[in-house]
Amino acid sequence: MSLLRIAVQSKGRLYDETMELLSEAGIKLTAVKRTLLVPSRNFPVELLFLRDDDIPDSVASGTADIGIVGLNEVMEKQRNVEIVRPLGFSRCRLSLAIPKNIEYTGLAWFNNRKIATSYPVILDEFLKKNGIKADIHVITGSVEIAPGIGLADAIFDIVSSGSTLVSNNLAEVETVVKSEAVLIAGSKKLSAEKQEVLDELLFRIEAVKAAGDRKYILMNVPKDKLDEVISVLPGIKSPTVLPLADPNWCSVHTVLEEKCFWEIINKIKSAGAEGILVTCSRHRKNGAVMGEIVKLYVHPDRKEWMEIMSRSKAEESAQVTEIVAGIINEVKARGDEALREYELRFDRARLDSFRVSNAEIEDAERLVPEPLKAAIAQAQKNIAAFHSAQLMQPVMVETTPGVVCEQRQVAIESVGMYVPGGNSPLFSTVLMLAVPAAIAGCSRRVLCTPPGADGKVNAAILYAASLAGVEEIYKVGGAQAIAAMALGTESIPKVSKIFGPGNRFVMEAKQQVTKFGTAIDMPAGPSEVMVIADDAANPDFVAWDFLSQAEHGPDSQSIALVESEAMAQRLENAISSHIADLPRREMMLKSLSHSSIVVLDKSEIMDFANEYAPEHLIINTADADALASRVVNAGSVFIGAFSPESAGDYASGTNHTLPTSGFAKCYNGVNIDSYMRKITFQRLSKEGLQALGGTIEIMAENEDLIAHKQAVTWRLNHINE
């Protein structure tokens, strides 16, 4: 029997949701997605994995019989295909967006503007329909960065949660097309066999979709109220009624469509029902999205671990590398002039001077409320106490009579500290970087941070910097700030080592400037947390730890390791409940889309954790100390139910500048040693050289380094004369 060939996307959100749909429709595959053509082992179909924009072509040409793809790709490619069925998932929209600090006056604003997009056909049709004449600039990859780097005035791109727009300082102003996943077919009629398979597939898909719109309800009802409760239940069939141990009560089970569930829930309660339990009529697991928020994996095979652990990777890294290299070269060639241009382009700030004045610091002190000042002071005290304790006394050892070796800690003379702006004013990062630098004794401490469009730096950042003794603060952000500190400009001094977190452009810049002889604290990427929780853990505690990491940015990642599906469900419910009203919900949902809950045997949990090597590791279990003793790869560990990661972020005393992306396997977080060099000294007396000289001569001669040998021999001869 010939197989019905289905073209599907090879990666991304649409891939995940398509695989979930097919799995719930009972279709099992014989291989992993990385194989181009994969047959099902229990249904007469095979999947052809392609890029999304190749799917309409493959279906139109007959290479595939049908395809699952976004409506936006069908509209853009304009191939001879038929939309068989909308599928209701991967919903998004194609929208126009402009820099959020620009006043939008309607569609006429786009006249004579340059618009960057990967969808020129759809955009061109829309503009012509509305009589707008604009310059369409076609870009593949990260369209959202185009306005920020001066390539375009606006963008036309796919929008899902809107978090990518927010993180790039863009505002959505016009929705042009609403898209979702659709099932498409070509113009050629299928054979009778394949049509029969397609009909069965469509039947299964409709059944899965219907299940997703329903709620399964269990409740306890007094027998004398049973008829009254049943009368308000619009069940698909008569509800199931089961006896309970108490002869006066019974258990009622039924399925309701979600659209009417909330309308009748109060009627059920008023009629006398108690102990009402509501669940979705289908439970998603092993890579599927639970409650549309996070992925759940139940006892995955160890072969699957690496895929579960995969971090969110910044797209178009080659493009980022090229952009950052251009910025560094411009700063190297033109210094302050280039910095002014970049600050106007990226931060919308027109600056005459980069250095923050004493008057601005004094103003900031007046603006910071007293409770925040007290909190910053407490955090500074704890950070100072912990880092001061890390200072080492000189080490002096007489290894051989007359041979004295010594090691002394010496501070790096000039350090640069980068404090991000963007989503939050990270004044806590000021303390984490500047307090240890002062304790170490770094004589020049330079801080760069991006200003707002008004040319001012956040008051709390300035206050924290002043409290920590930083005297040189510059209004420069992004990759250009890293370049300035590494190379030096007319205004900003060159430093020996650069510290601090940042976005992908900042991190790329830190990597690139090392070739100019500037050291960096560590390679790093998006922030991450791993939480280990047993069944006794408070799910609300775990949920807030999970969500706190998602607040950092859309590329952040949270992973929870639990011992049972029951705990996984309690945690998922808590996450769903708590995220509902958070102000950064839209951005956090993007972070959570590549986060997960993993159910493992207790014996596997620490193996998984050490392999992942998290930036932050929270151990919320009854045997937390025992598990902590087995940690070998982590940036910072939080032990016990009352040790939230937030404590380390702000005020416990440990440093929150930590290795990410698995680098905790070979790097530690920032500490006092990060600001120091350990210089060794040795002094040999005549007696010492006589005692050790023969050893040195033999070793040097056998390495064929005769000058090394003679440096000793001549001294020994001099002593013996």
Is residue 641 classed exposed, middle or buried when 0-12, 13-18 and 19+ CB atoms within 10 A define those classes? middle
Whether 708 sits among the annotated catalytic residues: the reply is: no
CB count in 10 Å sphere of residue 78: 12
Q: In a 3-state reduction of DSSP, which class is residue 157?
A: strand
Please, how many CA atoms are within 13 Å of residue 720, restricted to the half-sphere of its CB?
9
Matching residue, tokens 């229990």: 42
Please identify which of the residues 137, 387, 552, 616 carries the catalytic annotation: 616
User: Are residues 68 and 198 in contact, defined by beta-carbon separation less than 8 angstroms?
Assistant: no
Q: What residue ranges in 223-353 does DSSP mark as E strands? A: 240-243, 249-257, 274-280, 289-290, 294-298
Q: Is 502 helix (H, G, I), strand (E, B) or coil?
A: coil
In this structure, what token pair is assigned to residue 299? 């006892």
Instruction: Give the end-to-end CA distance of the chain in Å, rounded to a whole number.
Output: 101
Give the Cβ contact number of residue 153 at 10 Å.
20
Residues contacting 509, CB < 8 A, separation 6+: 324, 327, 328, 478, 479, 482, 483
**Amino acid symbol at 601:** D
In three-state secondary structure terms, 187 is coil
> If we measure between CA atoms, which residue out of 656, 588, 637 comes closest to residue 419?
656
**Opening angle at CA 590, ends 586 and 591, nearest 5:** 115
Question: Which residues share a beta bridge with 519?
Answer: 497
Which element (helix H / strand E) includes 368?
A: none
Catalytic residue flag (residue 616): yes
Selected catalytic residue, list 46, 144, 615, 645? 615
Given a contact cutoff of 8 angstroms between Cβ atoms, the answer to whether 417 and 447 are in contact is: yes
For residue 168, give the amino acid letter: N
- The first and second tokens of residue 704, run together, are 């064929």
Rounded Cα gap, residues 242 and 486, in angstroms: 74
Q: Are 232 and 273 in contact (CB under 8 A)?
A: no
Catalytic residues: 615-616
